[in-house]
Amino acid sequence: MSLEELAVVRQLLAGLVTEEARSLEDFRTSYDEAGKAFGLPEGVTVTPVSAGGVPSEWLAPAAGAGKRVLLYLHGGGYALGSLDSHRHLAAHIALALNGRVLLIDYRRSPEHPFPAAVDDAVASYRWLIETGVDPATLAVAGDSAGGGLTVATLLAARDAGLRLPAAAVCISPWANLENKGTSYDEKANVDPMVRHADLEVWTSAYLGTSTPPRTPLASPVYADLKGLPPFMIQVGSSEVLLSDSHLLADRLKEAGVFADLHVWPDMIHVWHWFAPVLSEGRAAIGEMAGFLNTKLG
């Protein structure tokens, strides 16, 4: 990361993460506007679609996409994030993969608490299968809360008897809603994207008072992970959530699932999101696409 790129990223974050009291709608608006401000890379088409009743968008190379398909689940603590906040990231992934990316707008908490996000993600996945997408050419990926949701979606699809995709990618996954791990303290002052206090707020909004944090589809590190497809997990060494990635990778391997954990030196939470201004973000997207190219038909 160059000094110039780092300065740009920190300037962007200064408008998103502050100590002052802000409403949920303020957070949502800031996140969406920052995502839209990046714009889209050239050569991408955007097509709105209802994916099993879930508002979604197809993003694909304008020159024509290959047969590979990625279901993408945005981050935002289950309370933030939308098509607007993550459209640019999904577009970059579509170009790198030379395939179609389905970005879905799943229901958010606290208006729609657990398991609404899981239900919507599974509905979209089922819709892909029912509309003719071959699971051998299909992958699921997501960042932060969307990373945990990626695992939960595969668990729910497995238990529903659906054919599973060929691969999955978790970017900086939030996979343990107990919010425990050594990195929660050790990285508290080096990750400008995520604070422990914020995670507690999002957890309460998502789980309410009746759902235990160790519920498997909320905290998939406590689930039976047997039978899931191969995973790549990307995380930055400066992340508060670094412990989640290590724990998830260990749990996948214990279940006999292939898990390639790549810790990127000095990177912050979901640095891919800054791909338009951050070379490491573009490189990580390229690495993700390379992994998927080895797993998808």
Q: Which of 82, 85, 144, 243 is catalytic?
A: 144
CATH tag for 3-295 (out of 1.20.810.10, 2.60.40.10, 3.40.50.1820, 3.40.50.150):
3.40.50.1820
Q: Average pLDDT of 192-209?
A: 94
Mean pLDDT computed over every residue of the chain: 94
| Alpha-carbon torsion (111, 216, 93, 31), positive or negative | positive
Whether 216 shows a pLDDT value over 70: the answer reads yes
Whether 138 shows a pLDDT value over 90: the answer reads yes
- Our answer to whether residue 239 is catalytic in this structure is yes
The 10s digit of each residue's pLDDT in 76-120 is 999 999 999 999 999 999 999 999 999 999 999 999 999 999 999
Q: Which of 74, 86, 246, 269 is catalytic?
A: 269
CA distance 150 to 279: 25
The 10s digit of each residue's pLDDT in 228-258 is 999 999 999 999 999 999 999 999 999 999 9
pLDDT of residue 158: 98
CA distance 76 to 85: 9
pLDDT of residue 16: 61
Token pair of 13, please? Answer: 């974050």
Whether 11 shows a pLDDT value over 90: the answer reads no
- Our answer to whether residue 196 is catalytic in this structure is no
Q: Average pLDDT of 268-278?
A: 96
Q: Which of 57, 172, 219, 239 is catalytic?
A: 239
pLDDT of residue 17: 54
